[in-house]
C-alpha cells in the first residue's frame, strides 16, 4: 500500500522488483514523478510481477510510460482503477536518469525470450567516402570500473558499472561553423564523418557520440542557433563532453575526423572472438535465487552463457586481474571493449546475441544494421574480488581473447605495394591478422599477386600440407594398382623440386599445440623439412590470426622469424580477393543446363568430387572424381545440391576450385538446398506396430544406413562389394525396415532417392521414440501404434549400483562372462573384417578374414554374456541386427546389459 506517497519512478520500481509475489498494488492519491531525479535508472522487465492481478491508481499522478512499464511487468493484471488523467511525459522527463549517473547496475540475465526490437538512432554518415560504420560501433558511454555485488542479490543487480573518477577534461578550441568541410583537405589525415544528435543540455557534462578513441572534432553548429554550450575533451574516456548554463533541448551537428589507423582497428575487430564465440543465449543454471555478483560471474564463465554485456564484463574483469588497461564501451544496441596496447586504444568486439534492430533514419541516412544485442543497465554498490581459481579461465585463453597485435606495421600507399613489400626477399616473415576473414583475404590476395608477378607460390592450409613425401600406390596404371606402395614426392615436394625460388605461404592458425615444435626446423637458420634442406631462395611467409586459432604459439616460435609484423591491410581491401561461394541461381541472362551433384550433406563429398582408391577384391581400383570429369568434358554449369555450406573445409574447397581454375573458365557454379519431398514420399509408407515374427525386415539407424546402398562380404580371401539392400529389393518392389534411432532429413532424402532410382517402396516401422523429420510427417498417421521388438535373449537392467547388480547376476548365473564395453566399437564386440598383406610369387596382395567378436563367441559357448559400462551408439545400433541373426541359431543364449542409460535401447521394454 503506497496511498498518498510521493515517490520517483526509479524508487517505485526498486520496491516492486523486491516484491515479486505482490498480488495487489494500492497507490491512491499518490505522485510518481521523474523530474529532478538523479538516481540511476532502473527498468521493470517483462513478467517481473507475474502474480500482480489488481492495481488501484485513483487520483494518482503517473505518466503513460511508467504505466506501460508496469503493465508489461504484470501480464496477469485483470483490473486497473483509474480516476485521473494520465500525463504525457514532459521533454525533461524523457531524459534518462542514467545520463548523469556515476554508476549503473548491470544484470546477469543471460536469456532474453522477448522478441521486442531495439530502436536506435542513426547518428553518423560518411563525408566524401563510402566507409559506413554501423550503429553497434558507436561509442556512447565509457565504463572504466566494474564492481561485483558483494551481497546476495537478485539477478538484476549482480554487477555495477562505473565511469571511474574525474573526467580529466581538457579545453579545446572548436569553431562554431555552418560551412561544409571539404573532405579532400583532410584525406591525408583520415576520414570525415558527419554527426547529428538531439540532446537535453544542462550544467551537467554529457558525452557526444563518438566513433573512435582517436578522433578530432573539427566544427559544430546548434539549433537553436548559437545556443550557449561549452565543449571539452575527456582524456579519461576519449570522448568530447558538453554542457550549457541554459537548460533545454538542442540539435547539434558536428564533423569528426577519424585517422585511418584507428579506423582500421574499428573495422578489423568487428568479428566475434573465438573464446567468446561459444557463448549462448540461454538461462543460467543457478542453485539459489539470490546470489553474490561473483557467483553470477562464475556461472557465466563456466556455463559459457551471456550476451555482449556479459562477455565484456567478464573480459574486463579478467583484464583487471592481469593488470591490463581495458574499458567497456556501450551504445544503444551493443557493448564491446577497448584495450590499451602499444600506446593506443584498440577495439575488441566479443560478439553478442542476435536481435531485431529498428533504426531511425530521420537524417536520411541509408544503411542496413547488423543485428546485435541490447544493453540493459541499472544502479550501484561496492567492490568485490574473486579468487584466481574461481573463474577457471587459463591465461592462454584470456590472452587469445585480448590479443591485438602490437607489432609494427609496414607503411604502404596501396595493397599491391604492401604485397610487394612482403615478397622483398626477407626469407622468414610472419604477418599477424586481426581476424580470420582478413587472414583468408590476405592468403588469396598474396597468392594472386605472386602469380601475377610470375613468382611461384604454394599455399599450405594445414600442417599435413607441409610434407615432402607421401605414400602412393605403385604401378597405378589404367586405374588399377597392386597393393605395394612407396613414398613419392608430395605436392609440396614437387613444388620445391621444380622451383628453387618462390613463396611458401603457411596458415599457422590451423596448427595444434603439438605441431608448433614439429615444424620449427622450417624456420631454423639451416632450414629443413622431413630432414631435407629447403632452398635458400624460398620465402616462408606465415599468416596467423588469434581469432579462431587452433592453439597459440610461444615466444620461441616468434623469435625464429626475421620479421614479425601486423597486417596494415584492411578487410575491405582484400574481401574482393576471396572467391565468392556459389550463388543460389544463375546470373540474369546466363542460365545454362547444369550438371547436378546431390551431396545429401554427407561426409563423403571429397571422395566423390576428387576421386579415391577403393578396394577391388584383393587389389585397388581408382574411381575418378566428378571434378576431373567435368573439366575433361568442358561443362559450362554445375549445380551443387545440399552441400555442406556450414563446413569451413567444404566452402574452402569451392573457393580453391575457382581460384585455381580447376573447372573451365566459363563454368558457372550454383547451389540449391532442399529436396522434392512430394516425389520422394511416394516411396515412403509408414506402417503400424512392428513387423510380424516371420516377416523379412531390416534394422535401420544411422549405423546401418550404408548397408542399404552397398555391402561387403569376404569371399575366400577377397573382400567383395555387393549391391545394397535397396538394389536387392528391386525385384520384390518393397523393403520393410524397423527404425531404432532417428535419421536426419538428409539421410532420409538419400535413402528415398535410392528407392526412387530402383522403384522400391520402403515400408517403415518406427521405434517407440523415433521421430521423423517434418518433411515426412503425416498428421493422419501420427497416432499409429508403435511396438518394441523385444528379443527374448536380451535383458536390459537399469541400475544405480552397477557393481552390486552384476555381483548378484554372476551368483545367479555362474556360467557367465562379464565384459566392460565402455569405449568398445561394434566391430570388436560383434564381428570385424581384418586384412593383411600376403605374397604370392613376386606379387603382394591383400588377404581378408572375418572374425567373430565376444558377443558371438559367448552365444556359441552357451554362456550368459553380461555387458556393463557405457555402450557406444554403434554398439546400440548394431545390437538388434546381430540378435536377429543369432536368435534362431542359439535360442537358449542370453545377454544381459547392466547400465544407467537403459533409455538408449529403444527396441526393448
Confidence band for 644, pLDDT divided at 50, 70 and 90: very high
Percent of all residues in the chain with a pLDDT value above 90, rounded to a whole number: 35
At residue 363 the predicted structure's pLDDT band, cuts being 50, 70 and 90, is: low
pLDDT higher than 60, residue 705: yes
**Confidence grade of residue 366 (pLDDT, cut at 50, 70, 90):** very low
Strands 864-868 and 816-820, sheet pairing: parallel
- pLDDT of res. 405: 45
State whether residue 675 is helix, strand or coil: coil
Span 732-743, pLDDT tens digits? 999 999 999 999
pLDDT-derived band at 618, boundaries 50, 70, 90: low
From 592, 596, 608, select the one nearest 641 (Cα to Cα): 596
**pLDDT tens per residue, range 25-35:** 887 666 676 54
Residue 243 has pLDDT above 90, yes or no: yes
Per-residue pLDDT at 532 exceeds 80:
yes
- In this predicted structure, which of 394-408, 722-736, 766-780 has the lowest mean pLDDT? 394-408
**Maximum average pLDDT range among 176-180, 471-475, 881-885:** 881-885
Residue 886 host element (H or E): helix 873-886
User: Distance between CA 194 and CA 214 in Å, rounded?
Assistant: 16
List the Cα angle 673/679/680 in 5-degree steps.
Answer: 75
Mean pLDDT of the 144-161 span: 92
Average pLDDT estimate for 875-894: 85
Which pLDDT score, from 0 to 100, does residue 377 have? 34
User: In the predicted model, is pLDDT for residue 489 greater than 90?
Assistant: no
Q: Lowest-confidence range among 169-183, 471-485, 688-702, 771-785? A: 471-485
pLDDT for the residue 352: 85
User: How do residues 749-768 score in pLDDT, each as one tens digit?
Assistant: 999 999 999 999 999 999 98
Q: What is the pLDDT of residue 119?
A: 83
Report whether pLDDT(46) > 90.
Answer: no
Tens-digit pLDDT profile for residues 507-526: 999 998 888 888 989 999 88
Mean pLDDT calculated for residue range 776-801: 87
Residue 168 burial (10 A CB sphere; 0-12, 13-18, 19+)? exposed
Considering only residues 897 and 478, tell me which one the structure prediction assigns the higher pLDDT: 897
DSSP state of 902: G
Cis peptide, bond prior to residue 224, ω within 30 of zero: yes
- DSSP for 358-381 reads EEE-TT----PPPP----------
pLDDT confidence of residue 295: 92
Least confident span in 406-420, 550-564, 603-617: 406-420
Residue 624: pLDDT band with limits 50, 70, 90: confident
Q: What is the mean pLDDT of residues 442-465?
A: 94
pLDDT for 99 equals 46
Mean pLDDT is highest, among 504-513, 565-574, 849-858, 887-896, for: 504-513
pLDDT-wise least confident of 145-154, 241-250, 273-282, 403-412:
403-412
pLDDT given for residue 681 in this prediction: 95
The residue among 404 and 645 whose pLDDT is bigger is: 645
pLDDT at position 437, please?
A: 87
User: At 227, is the pLDDT very low, low, confident or very high (cuts 50, 70, 90)?
Assistant: confident
| Of the listed ranges 7-11, 195-199, 249-253, the one predicted with least confidence | 7-11
* Residue extents of the structural domains in the chain: 6-94, 105-115+130-166+265-402, 169-259, 415-577, 595-672, 677-781, 794-904
Q: What's the rounded Cα separation, in Å, for the pair 266 and 885?
A: 65
For the chain, the average pLDDT equals 82
Give dist(CA 503, CA 496) in Å, integer: 10
- pLDDT attached to residue 73: 81
Residue 650 pLDDT greater than 90, yes or no: yes
pLDDT of 263-311, one tens digit each? 655 544 544 445 677 788 889 999 888 999 999 999 998 888 999 999 9
Q: For position 191, what pLDDT does the model report?
A: 85
Average pLDDT on 462-485 reads 66
611: left (phi over 0), alpha (psi -120 to 50) or beta: left
In this structure, the chain runs to a length of 909
Q: For position 484, what pLDDT does the model report?
A: 52
CB atoms closer than 10 angstroms to residue 361: 13
Residues 150 and 382: beta-carbon distance below 8 Å: yes
Residue 210 has a pLDDT of 95
Q: 59: phi > 0 → left, psi -120 to 50 → alpha, else beta; which? A: left
Q: What was the pLDDT predicted at 482?
A: 52
In the 3-class helix/strand/coil scheme, how is 417-469 assigned residue by residue? HHHHHHCCCCCEEEEEECCHHHHHHHHHHHHHHHHHCCCCEEEECCHHHCCCE
From 334-338, 620-624, 795-799, the region with the lowest mean pLDDT: 620-624
Which has the closest alpha carbon to 773: 746, 735, 736, 740?
746
Look at residue 393 and tell me whether its pLDDT is greater than 50: no
Report the CATH number of the 415-577 domain: 3.40.50
Predicted confidence (pLDDT) at residue 140 exceeds the cutoff of 60: yes
Q: How confident is the model at residue 487 (pLDDT cuts 50, 70, 90)?
A: low
| Confidence band of 353 (pLDDT split at 50, 70, 90) | confident
Q: Is the pLDDT of residue 558 over 80?
A: yes
What distance in Å separates the CA atoms of residue 108 and residue 159, rounded to the nearest whole number? Answer: 8
116 pLDDT exceeds 90?
no
- Is 89's pLDDT higher than 50? no
How confident is the model at residue 369, as a pLDDT? 33
Cα–Cα distance for residue pair 424/442, rounded to 1 Å: 16
> pLDDT band at residue 79, thresholds of 50, 70 and 90?
low
Report phi then psi at 347, rounded to 5: -80, 140
3-state secondary structure 467-507: CCEEEEECCCECCEECCCEEEEECHHHHHHHHCCCEEEEEE
Position 736 scores a pLDDT of 94
pLDDT for residue 96 = 47
Question: In this structure, are residues 750 and 600 in contact, taking their beta carbons and an 8 Å threshold?
Answer: yes
Tens-place pLDDT, residues 851-862: 888 888 888 888
pLDDT at 88 exceeding the cut of 80: no
Average pLDDT over residues 756-784: 92
Look at residue 542 and tell me whether its pLDDT is greater than 80. Answer: yes
Mean pLDDT, range 667-690, rounded to an integer: 93
Using pLDDT thresholds of 50, 70 and 90, give the confidence band for residue 43. low
pLDDT at 372: 37
Report the relative pairing of strands 54-56 and 24-26 from DSSP bridges.
parallel
The continuous run of DSSP H or E covering 847 comes out as strand 843-852
User: β-pairing, 428-433 with 538-545?
Assistant: parallel
Can you list the pairs that 487-496 forms with residues at least 24 positions away whose Cβ atoms lie under 8 Å? 491/458, 491/465, 492/458, 492/460, 492/465, 492/466, 492/467, 492/468, 492/529, 493/467, 493/468, 493/469, 495/456, 495/458, 496/468, 496/534, 496/535, 496/538
Q: pLDDT tens across 304-343, in order? A: 899 999 999 998 998 888 888 899 999 988 999 998 887 7
pLDDT of residue 394: 39
Least confident of 374-388, 503-517, 523-537, 813-827: 374-388
Q: How far apart are CA 14 and CA 32, in angstroms?
A: 13
Amino acid at each position: 500500500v503506497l496511498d498518498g506517497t510521493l515517490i520517483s519512478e526509479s524508487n517505485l520500481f526498486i520496491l516492486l522488483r523486491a516484491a515479486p509475489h505482490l498480488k495487489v498494488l494500492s497507490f491512491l492519491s499518490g505522485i510518481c514523478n521523474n523530474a529532478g531525479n538523479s538516481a540511476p535508472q532502473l527498468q521493470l522487465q517483462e513478467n517481473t510481477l507475474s502474480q500482480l492481478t489488481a492495481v488501484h491508481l485513483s487520483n494518482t499522478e503517473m505518466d503513460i510510460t511508467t504505466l506501460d512499464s508496469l503493465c508489461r511487468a504484470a501480464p496477469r493484471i485483470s483490473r486497473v482503477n483509474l480516476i485521473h488523467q494520465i500525463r504525457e511525459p514532459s521533454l525533461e522527463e524523457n531524459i534518462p536518469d542514467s545520463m548523469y549517473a556515476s554508476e549503473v547496475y548491470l544484470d546477469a540475465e543471460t536469456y532474453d525470450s522477448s522478441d521486442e526490437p531495439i530502436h536506435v538512432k542513426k547518428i553518423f554518415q560518411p563525408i566524401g567516402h563510402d566507409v559506413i560504420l554501423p550503429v553497434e560501433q558507436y561509442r556512447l558511454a565509457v565504463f572504466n570500473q566494474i564492481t561485483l555485488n558483494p551481497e546476495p542479490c537478485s539477478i538484476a543487480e549482480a554487477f555495477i558499472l562505473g565511469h571511474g573518477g574525474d573526467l580529466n577534461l581538457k579545453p579545446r578550441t572548436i569553431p562554431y561553423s555552418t560551412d561544409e568541410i571539404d573532405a579532400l583537405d583532410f584525406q591525408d589525415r583520415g576520414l570525415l564523418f558527419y554527426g547529428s544528435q538531439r540532446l537535453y543540455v544542462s550544467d551537467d557534462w554529457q558525452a557526444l557520440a563518438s566513433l573512435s578513441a582517436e578522433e578530432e572534432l573539427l566544427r559544430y553548429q546548434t539549433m537553436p542557433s548559437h545556443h550557449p554550450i561549452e565543449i571539452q575533451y575527456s582524456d579519461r574516456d576519449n570522448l568530447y563532453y558538453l554542457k550549457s548554463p541554459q537548460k533545454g533541448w538542442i540539435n547539434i551537428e558536428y564533423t569528426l575526423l577519424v585517422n585511418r589507423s584507428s579506423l582500421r582497428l574499428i573495422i578489423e575487430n568487428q568479428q566475434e572472438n573465438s573464446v567468446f564465440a561459444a557463448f549462448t543465449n540461454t538461462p543460467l543454471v543457478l542453485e539459489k535465487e539470490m546470489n553474490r555478483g561473483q557467483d553470477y560471474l562464475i556461472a557465466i564463465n563456466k556455463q559459457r552463457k551471456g550476451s555482449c554485456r556479459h562477455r565484456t564484463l567478464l573480459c574486463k574483469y579478467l583484464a583487471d586481474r592481469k593488470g591490463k588497461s581495458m574499458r567497456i564501451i556501450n551504445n544503444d544496441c551493443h557493448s564491446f571493449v577497448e584495450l590499451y596496447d602499444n600506446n593506443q586504444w584498440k577495439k575488441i568486439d566479443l560478439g553478442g546475441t542476435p536481435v531485431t534492430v529498428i533504426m531511425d533514419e530521420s537524417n536520411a541516412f541509408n544503411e542496413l544494421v547488423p543485428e546485435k544485442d541490447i544493453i540493459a543497465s541499472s544502479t550501484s554498490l561496492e567492490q568485490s574480488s574473486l579468487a584466481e581459481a574461481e573463474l577457471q579461465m587459463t591465461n592462454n585463453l584470456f590472452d587469445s581473447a585480448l590479443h591485438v597485435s602490437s607489432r609494427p606495421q609496414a607503411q604502404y600507399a596501396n595493397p599491391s605495394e604492401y604485397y610487394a613489400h612482403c615478397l622483398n626477399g626477407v626469407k622468414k616473415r610472419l604477418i599477424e591478422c586481426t581476424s580470420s576473414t582478413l587472414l583468408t583475404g590476405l592468403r588469396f590476395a598474396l597468392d594472386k599477386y605472386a602469380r601475377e608477378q610470375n613468382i611461384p607460390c604454394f599455399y599450405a592450409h594445414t600442417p599435413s600440407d607441409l610434407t615432402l613425401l607421401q605414400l602412393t600406390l605403385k604401378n597405378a596404371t589404367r586405374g588399377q594398382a597392386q597393393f605395394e606402395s612407396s613414398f613419392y614426392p608430395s605436392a609440396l615436394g614437387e613444388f620445391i623440386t621444380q622451383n628453387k625460388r618462390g613463396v611458401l605461404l603457411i596458415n599457422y592458425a590451423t596448427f595444434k599445440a603439438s605441431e608448433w615444435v614439429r615444424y620449427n626446423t622450417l624456420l631454423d637458420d639451416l632450414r629443413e623439412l622431413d630432414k631435407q634442406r629447403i632452398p635458400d631462395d624460398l620465402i616462408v611467409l606465415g599468416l596467423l590470426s588469434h581469432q579462431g586459432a587452433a592453439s597459440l604459439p610461444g615466444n620461441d616460435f616468434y623469435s625464429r622469424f626475421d620479421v614479425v609484423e601486423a597486417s596494415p591491410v584492411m578487410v575491405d581491401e582484400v574481401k574482393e580477393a576471396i572467391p565468392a561461394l556459389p550463388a543460389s541461381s544463375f546470373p540474369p541472362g546466363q542460365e545454362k543446363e547444369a550438371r547436378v551433384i546431390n551431396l545429401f550433406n554427407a561426409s563423403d563429398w571429397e571422395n566423390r568430387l576428387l576421386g579415391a582408391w577403393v578396394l577391388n577384391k584383393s587389389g585397388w581400383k581408382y574411381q575418378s572424381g566428378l571434378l576431373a570429369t567435368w573439366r575433361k568434358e568442358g561443362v559450362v554449369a554445375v549445380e551443387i545440391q545440399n552441400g555442406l555450406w556450414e563446413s569451413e573445409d567444404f566452402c574452402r574447397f569451392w573457393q580453391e576450385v575457382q581460384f585455381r581454375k580447376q573447372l573451365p573458365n566459363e563454368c558457372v557454379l550454383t547451389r540449391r538446398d532442399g529436396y522434392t519431398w512430394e516425389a520422394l514420399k511416394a516411396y515412403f509408407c509408414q506402417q503400424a506396430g512392428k513387423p510380424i515374427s516371420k516377416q523379412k525386415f531390416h534394422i535401420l539407424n544411422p549405423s546401418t544406413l550404408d548397408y542399404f546402398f552397398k555391402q561387403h562380404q569376404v569371399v575366400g580371401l577377397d573382400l567383395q562389394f555387393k549391391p545394397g539392400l535397396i538394389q536387392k529389393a528391386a525385384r520384390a518392389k518393397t523393403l520393410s525396415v524397423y527404425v531404432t534411432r532417428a535419421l536426419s532429413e538428409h539421410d532420409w532424402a538419400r535413402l528415398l532417392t535410392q528407392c526412387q532410382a530402383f522403384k522400391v517402396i520402403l515400408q517403415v516401422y518406427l521405434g517407440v521414440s523415433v521421430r521423423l523429420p517434418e518433411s515426412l510427417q503425416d498428421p493422419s498417421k501420427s497416432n499409429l501404434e508403435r511396438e518394441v521388438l523385444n528379443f527374448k535373449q536380451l535383458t536390459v537392467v537399469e541400475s544405480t549400483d552397477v557393481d552390486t547388480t552384476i555381483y548378484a547376476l554372476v551368483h545367479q548365473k555362474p556360467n557367465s562372462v562379464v565384459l566392460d564395453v565402455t569405449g568398445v566399437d561394434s566391430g570388436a564386440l560383434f564381428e570385424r573384417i581384418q586384412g593383411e598383406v600376403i605374397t604370392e610369387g613376386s606379387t603382394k596382395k591383400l588377404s581378408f578374414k572375418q572374425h567373430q567378436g565376444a558377443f558371438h563367441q559367448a552365444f556359441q559357448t552357451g554362456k550368459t554374456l553380461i555387458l556393463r559400462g557405457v555402450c557406444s551408439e554403434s554398439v546400440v545400433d548394431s545390437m538388434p541386427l546381430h540378435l536377429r541373426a543369432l536368435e534362431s541359431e542359439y535360442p537358449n543364449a542370453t545377454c544381459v546389459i547392466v547400465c544407467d542409460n537403459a533409455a538408449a535401447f529403444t527396441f526393448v521394454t
